Structure 1
Amino acid sequence: MGLICETELYEVGDKLYPCATSITMAFIGGKWKTVILSHLKQGTMRYSELRKKLPVITERTLSIQLKQMEEDGIVNRRVHTSKPPLKVEYSLTDFGKTFIPVLEAIADWGDRFAEKNARVVKNGRL
């Protein structure tokens, strides 16, 4: 179990995974989920606030990622319909909050890697 993938498979829904690590990566893998979670660990945010924090992500991609994380039980979606305009807020579920230490470990590793191997790019331009 854990980091070493043994011979057993894990079934989650209709998918099979070779180890627990692959389950984790399926839930948070990709370019944007960890970035979205990093913002949501600060607290509840409206959709428009997330868009402002992530100007390079498309609306479609942000919506898809949020929907997937909601379906996976990592993110809460709350719609306020009391008065127009419609207000939608996102936050981490209790289960999603258990991922914060993992997220911080990933960020720490990325910082160490970046210090040795990356250069800072301003405004997306070299």
Structure 2
Amino acid sequence: MKNLSIKSLVMVLGLAVMPFGAQAATESATKSATSSSIEKSASKEKKADQKATKEPAASKAEEEKVSLNSASAEELSKALNGVGLKKGQTIVNYREEMGPFTQLEQLQEVPGIGPALFQRNQSRLKL
């Protein structure tokens, strides 16, 4: 019992007489470990929240699709790969002259839209 008390006293005194730089390093390491633990906990909570609020993949993919029959030239140019404002406006003009698209494949009838461009963007399109 006496041994234990002396060891405890030496530990307390040892910390009290520890150089200031060593005390600061010890405190910094403790704060860093605590901060890291808090960040990990927050990260886990954020991931859990994201999983809980995640929509089904099918509905999210559907939201990302652009409508050939209602999108503006700007929306088409942002959503489709290889389609700028000029081609987007060509699609809108075609739709206004010929009426709404009834099949996605009709997009290939628009001047400047070939099979390769259509294939590249088919998954991003809806009517």
- On whether the aligned pair clears a TM of 0.5, the verdict is no
The structure with the largest strand share of the pair is: 1
Greater helix fraction, Structure 1 or Structure 2: 2
Q: TM-score category by the smaller chain? A: under 0.3
> TM-score if structure 2 supplies the norm length?
0.24
Q: Please say which structure displays the higher CA radius of gyration.
A: 2
**So what's the TM-score if we normalise by structure 1?**
0.25
